[in-house]
Amino acid sequence: QVQLVESGGGLVQAGGSLRLSCAASGRSFSRNAMGWFRQAPGKEREFVAAINWNGGSTYYTDSVKGRFTISRDNAKNTMYLQMNNLKPEDTAVYYCAASGLRNVGPGTTGYDYWGQGTQVTVSS
């Protein structure tokens, strides 16, 4: 059974940092693009960041550029999202996802597997 499990969320003050992890099991995603998404209350799920299969290409939504860094460790079948200088508007449930493709550009389409999400709350 394929599973993606997010961890690392929590409550942090504005300006603080968190590191999210997405651990995959059931199959290897070392040849697949992966991404992070978020959904705030009352809003649609939105794209945050994506990384191609070998980490050579990364994509970010404009609001997180310069603050968030996506990375992956294929040996551990794990993806990360380092979030710095967090803002209250970053508050959301964060989801990771894996694609059937080696590279997926910015956006919410092209992903086949999704995690259950981890809550990130940034207080002002």
- pLDDT tens per residue, range 22-56: 999 999 999 999 999 999 999 999 999 999 999 99
* Residue 108: pLDDT over 90: no
Q: How far apart are CA 20 and CA 31, in angstroms?
A: 21
CB atoms closer than 10 angstroms to residue 112: 11
Write down the pLDDT at residue 124: 94
Q: How far apart are CA 95 and CA 38, in angstroms?
A: 6
Residue 33 DSSP code: -
Q: Which amino acid, residue 83?
A: M
